[in-house]
Amino acid sequence: MAMTTGDKYLKRIAQLQSEVWLEGECIRGGLTKHAAFRSVLQAKAKLYDMVQEPSHQSLLQSSDHTSNFTFEMPRTKEDLVKRGKATRLWANEAAGVLGRSPDYVNTIVTVLAASKAYFSQAGVEYGENIQGIYERAVKHDYTFTHTFVNPPISRKPYYPDGENQEVPIAAKIIDETEEGLVIDGARLLATQGGMTDEILVLPSTAFVDSDYLYGFAIPSDTKGLRFLCRPSVCKTSVFDYPLSSQFEEGDAIVVFDHVLVPWSRVFLYRNELLTSDLFSKTGAEAYMLYQAANRQVVKTEWLLGLAQALVDVMGIEQHQHVQGKIAEMIIALEAMRGFVCSAESQAQVNEFELMVPKIEPLRAAVSYYQATYPRLVEMLQLLGASHFIAAPNEQDFASPIASQLERFVRGESTTAKEKTQLIRCIRDMTMTEFGIRQTLYERYFFGDPIRVLSSLYHLYEPEKAAYRERVERFLKQLPHEKIQMDESFRS
Amino acid sequence: MAMTTGDKYLKRIAQLQSEVWLEGECIRGGLTKHAAFRSVLQAKAKLYDMVQEPSHQSLLQSSDHTSNFTFEMPRTKEDLVKRGKATRLWANEAAGVLGRSPDYVNTIVTVLAASKAYFSQAGVEYGENIQGIYERAVKHDYTFTHTFVNPPISRKPYYPDGENQEVPIAAKIIDETEEGLVIDGARLLATQGGMTDEILVLPSTAFVDSDYLYGFAIPSDTKGLRFLCRPSVCKTSVFDYPLSSQFEEGDAIVVFDHVLVPWSRVFLYRNELLTSDLFSKTGAEAYMLYQAANRQVVKTEWLLGLAQALVDVMGIEQHQHVQGKIAEMIIALEAMRGFVCSAESQAQVNEFELMVPKIEPLRAAVSYYQATYPRLVEMLQLLGASHFIAAPNEQDFASPIASQLERFVRGESTTAKEKTQLIRCIRDMTMTEFGIRQTLYERYFFGDPIRVLSSLYHLYEPEKAAYRERVERFLKQLPHEKIQMDESFRS
Amino acid sequence: MAMTTGDKYLKRIAQLQSEVWLEGECIRGGLTKHAAFRSVLQAKAKLYDMVQEPSHQSLLQSSDHTSNFTFEMPRTKEDLVKRGKATRLWANEAAGVLGRSPDYVNTIVTVLAASKAYFSQAGVEYGENIQGIYERAVKHDYTFTHTFVNPPISRKPYYPDGENQEVPIAAKIIDETEEGLVIDGARLLATQGGMTDEILVLPSTAFVDSDYLYGFAIPSDTKGLRFLCRPSVCKTSVFDYPLSSQFEEGDAIVVFDHVLVPWSRVFLYRNELLTSDLFSKTGAEAYMLYQAANRQVVKTEWLLGLAQALVDVMGIEQHQHVQGKIAEMIIALEAMRGFVCSAESQAQVNEFELMVPKIEPLRAAVSYYQATYPRLVEMLQLLGASHFIAAPNEQDFASPIASQLERFVRGESTTAKEKTQLIRCIRDMTMTEFGIRQTLYERYFFGDPIRVLSSLYHLYEPEKAAYRERVERFLKQLPHEKIQMDESFRS
Amino acid sequence: MAMTTGDKYLKRIAQLQSEVWLEGECIRGGLTKHAAFRSVLQAKAKLYDMVQEPSHQSLLQSSDHTSNFTFEMPRTKEDLVKRGKATRLWANEAAGVLGRSPDYVNTIVTVLAASKAYFSQAGVEYGENIQGIYERAVKHDYTFTHTFVNPPISRKPYYPDGENQEVPIAAKIIDETEEGLVIDGARLLATQGGMTDEILVLPSTAFVDSDYLYGFAIPSDTKGLRFLCRPSVCKTSVFDYPLSSQFEEGDAIVVFDHVLVPWSRVFLYRNELLTSDLFSKTGAEAYMLYQAANRQVVKTEWLLGLAQALVDVMGIEQHQHVQGKIAEMIIALEAMRGFVCSAESQAQVNEFELMVPKIEPLRAAVSYYQATYPRLVEMLQLLGASHFIAAPNEQDFASPIASQLERFVRGESTTAKEKTQLIRCIRDMTMTEFGIRQTLYERYFFGDPIRVLSSLYHLYEPEKAAYRERVERFLKQLPHEKIQMDESFRS
């Protein structure tokens, strides 16, 4: 069995020597002891421990119990549905706020490996390479971050030293040697960047220039690879910030400073056609969306649970508008579940014998959630009103004024501290810097909402045509005579 | 085989002697020749003809081919899913705008008959009576209208002749004889009232007074039964009003003028408990919602088809905001499908051995659609702009100015008449009096949106409790110590 | 005194020989007797009678009592505010639903004449011509329709007889003679087209080709001028359709069939610069928007009055959500009033000595109303619920079932007929074909909402720049040192 | 001259000995040196310095130059408009984010003093007391916090020590002595609580019990008075948090621990009638709203400026949807200005000879802004997309990776640091804990949005009645005959 445990996972990551920059400081190794990384790594370790728990093994391990579920290639609808359940179980463990539990990118690696033949079209070695990346990952139970976006591009080329030497912005192939590709430039925005065993680099479809067309996976501590993390929103008080303190994943600009990517790690190379069809033909996009939609279902359950707890603590259930707000959250939850159900029930086996969920409902799901998640947050704000402004903190409750808080802040049948803990949890979910990053994450994780809508429009081409033709048939067959009146009607 | 055909159906309805009042005129018999009723009856006749078509028999007939699908009691998920498909097939035949194809109320009759034991709790005769109503309906392939709403009640009693004699407003039992109950007063708002073989009268839960607690079905031409129809929106020009001219169903206040209801037709009688649990315990509500949600899926497909046809005729596909509007319609369609899928996949057999779709997603569906349908209409208005103001009519195209219309009104690659036909169809779907009634129908057919949200809130009690408890467990198990910083972090 | 009276106005229009096509029929003369035109002409006649009423003379007549207010050129803020009040008084007389009371286009004629010097830049005769048009209009107290939109243009030229002869679609200059311009083609969409003394033809800015650049006014019965009216939504029953029956204005495609426009009527001729600055430099746009915004204020008052009457008849005032809906309407009303107030208080004299209202708030107003008007309609629908479906009509109340309607349909303290009259008025305002045209009119009367937003964006250039610079100054002057902590804070 | 300067103000506040609790720590004195209070006090000091600047004296000082504008009683429209401008000037200095510049509560004190006769109705001493409070405030140029909300009340009384002794929650009169009232309990939620010279305590209208009906003002360091501050969101890095670091005002629960309020400070005492009419009769509410609406105008200008700067830095101006988003912000700004303009132009002198702005547009304004402010924030989020996630911080730019940020993060024509500074400013305005508190502040500062709507509904009673009657008159005068058709029309 290649499955890791929480402990083994933490030990492995502790030894990772990736070059991580955070708030002006360079960190190399020891992430598991660093305040900004420790908690989320422990949260992930818990997920690995769950895999070993007898009660979860049937769901969280592959059918043959040789790996965790993330590396299993679904061949039947049952496989698919099981995977969805496993994703939801993990997501629930993290209150729905961990965007990148290991299943997210592992799913991509697994789906790409299942589509080995796809990459072999350009040369048998590319198929073998993705297969090798997958097998190594299974063997060690690896985690990955990934990136497939280029920095917003300046139309002017970049000459840092005046007009002499142009340097790349978006990461590109600047050289090729016997050992492999040499990559220079940057990629956006790797969640958990620097904290995972490897990084999966997928081609961006924004450029046609073949210098930008490549796919590979390399260890996070490869020479020249650098992770520029955004400032951490991790907090130390669990009472004040129950989620920030546990689940801050970070996001990083990935810099390739003349990184040498061995040929054996390259599965896609200067191939425009294979790049443009990559996500649709392999089923990778459908699987990424399927993971995301399942996580969002769980997140919505959490928001609903928080909202109902708040309503009960505040004693405002009897108000029609309160019920209406909760009901809107219920509708959102049922809608998300429906999209997932629809994708599962229409799943089909693709040419690589993967059972791929139907993509249309999943695209609709992600687009729906981009617009709906902020409304769910708004519901919480509208329910809790000024409670979110006034919430005391851990230090207040540890001070001489604790008894006064108990007198003036308590709920109908909860202590002030319990009530405050709930309110601070909701704040942290939606109104701290961690919470706001959650909102931005849901708004943008699959791209600009306007472009997501446009791509849904195009994806839906066959259905739209069918419905349009149905309308045209109806109009063509309309009878042309007037309907006969009888005499008494509207004389 | 008891299945009717379009022709037989029309002949039977032609002989119906129900007392129908329309726009000040009393009509008795001959509805199939009356301009206000003829078209919709023919539209329904087509549905019956479809049942006989070889290509549709497997879907539109019961498994044993003894009745059409509407009278089949679903025992398995396959039965349920088949019924959903059949509903969508019929709905599609009517462009999604026929609120009451025969399956709607037939479903209720069938579900109630399947729950015969429910009614027998109050006396074995009540179970037998609903069984009898059902069997007779199957035998003759009957259609029904139904009513379960009381008129909005005046707090003051009603004394039409001064202060002496109070008369009932909401229909109530005013007498009981050996023959049966005597009912006096009115009920709201029977769609197709007066045009169907029988009327199914369900108890309203608004009153506790047992005079108002009854359930029965009687022929539409029962003595004293009177249908006060709202003014018809039926139109004579199919070109100008392609939907109003074919699918105007009407709605009627049902007046019971001392109507004698034979005991053999009564299946619920002054029983408060059986009344309050009626819709939930028998699965009737779940089935009504299931029919409605399936119809709404089809209606949304039609709106989407019309929108896309419009976009193509106008040549505006390239605009991002146009794509965004269509994409919003796609999301609505996928959401509705998802709700249906969810209800099917979580369906369970109830105590009367009916396979009942899960009600929560269906309640969410109807509530979602109450809010979303007007947005779909808005999308069409925003796409078509002033085209909807300026559309010429049939007479214009039959006049000397036809050639000028061709010159000034034609589309890029459609004739002016074809383009106008499409625009008039969209107008009729959403902007004529017929179209507006469609909007009102979707906004209100399952009740006031605010109350529907409240009832969804209450229905969701177990789930909300589970999610709230999950939150509470999470908060309780939070570690109480602060997270240790390493020295370098935020010194 | 040149001011007309209702009677004189009707007599003059009765003699108008414009070529009007309606529903396939050609009408020449006698509009005042034709059912489709009679009512709205009488409604306008009432406006003229109001001008003569002693109580209204100070508001509805010019200061020197030589014309009605529509022809007065405002020179001071007081003049402007008076004009706004006069517009609201007339609008109120027509329940806010008459889009084109005579002040709308008369205002444009007046403002253009005040800007005589603007047109004279291209030749002194053009200034004199607009002056002449104005003086004649004042002398006879004329009414106008106007047009400034081209038909949506086919990219392919139009060859009705195969490939030989291309004919114009948008109206253009096809010849010039000593007598004047010869115009051929069509223009969209003249409200009240054919019913007014003259038509004002303004240049469209859509084309650069000078064949399309012209401005003139000619009598509606000029030879070759043809009005293709959309089907009428006028109704005969005032009870059933209190607004459709009185205020249906019609909209018409204007066809110029080789129309000769005398040189003396041309005030703008093949001049691109004068065309592109026309609406901004003369203040015409500001004045059109000012008239519209004032009318919309009144319309909103009517919608609010209808809503409150409905709430009272239904006895639902106590519900918080009902109050909330009315309050939203109040906010809309106050917002519209605020925009007008803002435009007035920032009005400035332009180079032609006109006191021109500030355009920015008025553009904001029209854009706000495009989005808000449909919400106001929605509020009415949500308040009235199924009452709008079930409303009986005039014939019902004149029939034997009237007493039953009284019993079952009456309100708490209103008769069924009174209640129904109110409900039908709301239906007609918002849910009949007349009502829907009102919605479309408000959504589109100043252009596609998306483009109106874009133009507001550009119009606001100076303000945006000022606010952006303020931000930049703020960011530049930020202190660069960290704020010093005292020891005790967050140790 | 009684006007203070920034320096004098800071010295005075430095000596204030109010009992302030913050994050578990008790602070007494030295607020001007404490990191959590220092910055906002300096920001306020700048406002006082502005009053002395020659260029601002005409606006920021009273007409007779004896006090700053906050203490001037407006008697004319010019006075009122000047006050609005002064408020906007101060608000602008604080980027619109300082909710409580001194004018907010000073305005209330001033208006109440102007209404001296109102309080004298219950006894001449009450009038004199408010006059005394005002005069002392003017003399020393005092600042105030205020409170008029009770803690959400438990229906069960509070017995902290079991069942023996009930203690008050909401602050109430528990004793009266010769010296004055003794108050015990708490009040919510004093912004800047503890940092101002005095606290103004206004009666809450939530209780009828006269123990809760009182109005007074006392020094912040009165014995027994205690301010329980919510945790501070003040930050030390100006670069990272340009607003949090300067304008964090704090909010505090105010605890009255057996506080003795001298009779000379009491202006309202157990008087139900004077309590319930207080805010309307004196004009205090209108003035509070007027200050708030003017501040919100400025805040909206800032949001618009930030949005436009962002659009320019990102180079996305050409997109229609970007223009549309900015245009929505423009509409909001013009709407807010319109409300203010409307309130000014309809202002009237009240019985105490104050020129009081019209309250209806101001209530509409605050209600509009409660709903609109979150949309403005949303626009910023939608425009900036993932830029808000990835923004580096001050330490990053001071570290070795600065050059890499310059390479990968810079804008089209701005340096990475400038671009980041802008993005961090927008984050701080809307997405940090400071920013979120701004959102909550605007959502709630005048009360629960649902209740604000209800109160607007009731306030509008006379107007609604007038519009309803107009509708009724219209319906009553409708002609009863049908409109005559001519033969050719719709034959």
Mean pLDDT of A297-303: 98
In angstroms, the CA B222 to CA B200 distance is 12
Strands B251-262 and B180-191, by their bridges, are antiparallel
Q: Which of B228, B374, B407 sits opposite C160 (nearest CB)?
A: B407
Decide: D400 and D243 in contact? Cβ < 8 Å. Answer: no
What chains are in contact with D, requiring at least 3 Cβ pairs below 8 Å? A, B, C
Which one of A245, A261, A278 terminates a domain? Answer: A278
For D251, which DSSP code?
E
What sign has the CA pseudo-torsion D33, D34, D35, D37? negative
Residues B203, B99 within the same domain: yes
Contacts of D47 (CB under 8 A, 6+ apart): D6, D90, D93, D94, D101, D102
pLDDT at B301 over 60: yes
Nearest chain C residue to B185 by CA distance is C408
Which three-class secondary structure state does DSSP give residue D440? helix
Assigned domain for B485 exists? no
What chains are in contact with B, requiring at least 3 Cβ pairs below 8 Å? A, C, D
pLDDT at D100 over 60: yes
- The alpha-carbon gap from B321 to the nearest alpha carbon of chain D, in Å, equals 8
Any bridge partners for residue C176, and if so which?
A: C181
pLDDT level of residue B205 (50, 70, 90 thresholds): confident
Q: pLDDT, tens digit, for every residue of A4-58?
A: 999 999 999 999 999 999 999 999 999 999 999 999 999 999 999 999 999 999 9
Assigned domain for A367 exists? yes
Assigned domain for D453 exists? no
Q: Which of C314, C255, D467 is nearest to B404 (CA)?
A: C255
Interface of A with C (CB under 8 A): 319-321
Which tokens sit at D106? Answer: 């000073």
Assigned domain for B108 exists? yes
Which tokens sit at B452? Answer: 């529907």
Residues B274, B291 within the same domain: no
pLDDT score at B148: 86
Decide: A310 and B467 in contact? Cβ < 8 Å. Answer: no
Residues C245, C315 within the same domain: no
Q: pLDDT, tens digit, for every residue of D267-289?
A: 999 999 999 999 999 999 999 99
Residues B336, B218 within the same domain: no
pLDDT level of residue B487 (50, 70, 90 thresholds): low
Q: Which residue bears the tokens 């004042």? A: C138
Mean pLDDT of D348-371: 98
CB-hemisphere CA count at 13 Å for C373?
28
- The strands making up A214-219's β-sheet, listed across from edge to edge, are A144-147, A198-201, A214-219, A266-269
Decide: A290 and A340 in contact? Cβ < 8 Å. Answer: yes
Residues B172, B38 within the same domain: yes
In angstroms, the CA C231 to CA B239 distance is 13
pLDDT at D360 over 60: yes
In angstroms, the CA C229 to CA C244 distance is 16
Mutate to test the interface with A, among B393, B467, B472, B490 (most CBs of A within 10 A): B467
Which tokens sit at C57? Answer: 């003379």
pLDDT score at A411: 86
Residue ranges of D for the binding site for FAD? 191, 448-451
**Amino acid identity for residue A43 in this structure:** A
pLDDT level of residue D83 (50, 70, 90 thresholds): very high
Any bridge partners for residue A187, and if so which?
A: A254
pLDDT score at B485: 62
pLDDT at D1 over 60: no
Strands D19-22 and D225-229, by their bridges, are parallel
pLDDT level of residue B204 (50, 70, 90 thresholds): confident
For D488, which DSSP code?
T
**Amino acid identity for residue C229 in this structure:** C
Decide: B106 and B137 in contact? Cβ < 8 Å. Answer: yes
In angstroms, the CA A84 to CA A365 distance is 15
Q: pLDDT, tens digit, for every residue of D310-337?
A: 999 999 999 999 999 999 999 999 999 9
Q: Which of D349, D357, D358, D351 is nearest to D120 (CA)?
A: D351
Mean pLDDT of B151-167: 73
In angstroms, the CA A407 to CA B56 distance is 71
CB contact under 8 A, A240 and D231: yes
Residues of D with Cβ-Cβ distance to B320 under 8 angstroms: 319-321
Decide: D337 and C466 in contact? Cβ < 8 Å. Answer: no
Assigned domain for D55 exists? yes
Mutate to test the interface with D, among A386, A441, A444 (most CBs of D within 10 A): A386
In angstroms, the CA A464 to CA C194 distance is 41
Which tokens sit at D419? Answer: 């671009």
Mean pLDDT of B204-212: 81
Residues of D with Cβ-Cβ distance to A392 under 8 angstroms: 228, 230-231
Which tokens sit at A67? Answer: 């790996």
Residues C373, C426 within the same domain: yes
CB contact under 8 A, D481 and C34: no
The domain tally of chain A equals 2
Which one of D446, D464, D479 terminates a domain? Answer: D446
Residues A396, A251 within the same domain: no
- The alpha-carbon gap from A161 to the nearest alpha carbon of chain C, in Å, equals 25
Strands A19-22 and A225-229, by their bridges, are parallel
Which three-class secondary structure state does DSSP give residue C290? helix
pLDDT score at B90: 98
What torsion, rounded to 10 degrees, do the Cα atoms B156, B158, B160, B161 define? -80
Q: pLDDT, tens digit, for every residue of D198-235?
A: 999 999 876 678 999 999 999 999 999 999 999 999 99
Nearest chain C residue to A236 by CA distance is C490
Contacts of A342 (CB under 8 A, 6+ apart): A358, A361, B334, B337, B338, B341
pLDDT level of residue B232 (50, 70, 90 thresholds): very high
pLDDT at B277 over 60: yes
Nearest chain B residue to D321 by CA distance is B321
Identify the CATH number of the domain in which residue B371 sits. Answer: 1.20.140.10
Phi first, then psi: what are they for A226, rounded to 5°? -140, 135
Residues of C with Cβ-Cβ distance to D418 under 8 angstroms: 475
pLDDT score at B59: 97
- D267: Cα separation from own chain's centroid: 23
Assigned domain for A148 exists? yes
From residue D58, how far is each of B477, D61, D85, D355 by CA, in Å?
A: 62, 6, 11, 20
Residues A268, A287 within the same domain: no
Helix axes A359-384, A284-314, angle to 10 degrees: 20
The DSSP annotation for D350-412 comes to -TTS-EEPPHHHHHHHHHHHHHHHHHHHHHHHHHHTTHHHH---HHHHTSTTHHHHHHHH--S
Q: Which residue bears the tokens 């606001």? A: C460
The chain-wide mean pLDDT, for chain A, equals 94
Query: How many helices, marked H, and strands, marked E, lie in chain C?
Result: 19, 12
Decide: A382 and A329 in contact? Cβ < 8 Å. Answer: no
Residues B314, B366 within the same domain: yes
Contacts of D442 (CB under 8 A, 6+ apart): D296, D369, D370, D373, D374
Q: Which of D202, D285, D201, D213 is nearest to D456 (CA)?
A: D285
Which tokens sit at C51? Answer: 């001008």
pLDDT score at C220: 98
- The alpha-carbon gap from B270 to the nearest alpha carbon of chain A, in Å, equals 30
In angstroms, the CA A439 to CA A453 distance is 18
Mutate to test the interface with A, among B238, B308, B452 (most CBs of A within 10 A): B308
In angstroms, the CA A29 to CA A16 distance is 5
pLDDT at A491 over 60: no
In total, chain B counts a number of residues equal to 491
Structural domain harbouring D48: 6-278
The chain-wide mean pLDDT, for chain D, equals 94
What chains are in contact with C, requiring at least 3 Cβ pairs below 8 Å? A, B, D
Buried/exposed code over D354-368 (b: 16+ C-beta within 10 A; e: otherwise): bbbbbbbbbbbbbbb
**Amino acid identity for residue D266 in this structure:** V
From residue D170, how far is each of A409, D1, D149, D265 by CA, in Å?
A: 11, 40, 9, 20
| ipTM attached to this prediction | 0.96
Name the E strands within A101-250: 144-147, 172-176, 180-191, 198-201, 214-219, 225-229
pLDDT score at B446: 87
Residues C266, C289 within the same domain: no
Assigned domain for C481 exists? no
Which one of C222, C255, C278 terminates a domain? Answer: C278
Assigned domain for D470 exists? no
Residues C364, C233 within the same domain: no
Residues of B with Cβ-Cβ distance to A240 under 8 angstroms: none
From residue A76, how far is each of A67, A70, A345, A354, D220 by CA, in Å?
A: 18, 15, 11, 8, 71
Residues C195, C305 within the same domain: no
Residues of A with Cβ-Cβ distance to C319 under 8 angstroms: 320
CB contact under 8 A, D330 and C421: no
- Regions of chain C where pLDDT drops below 70: 1, 153-157, 206-207, 484-491
pLDDT level of residue D165 (50, 70, 90 thresholds): confident
pLDDT score at C38: 96
pLDDT at B304 over 60: yes
CB contact under 8 A, A386 and D188: yes
Residue ranges of A for the binding site? 100-104, 146, 191, 204-205, 448-451
Decide: A424 and A380 in contact? Cβ < 8 Å. Answer: no
Phi first, then psi: what are they for B45, rounded to 5°? -60, -40
The DSSP annotation for D256-309 comes to EEEEEEEGGGEEEES-HHHHHHHHHHSSHHHHHHHHHHHHHHHHHHHHHHHHHH
D4: enclosing H helix or E strand:
none
Interface of C with A (CB under 8 A): 319-321
In angstroms, the CA B46 to CA B43 distance is 5
pLDDT at B246 over 80: yes
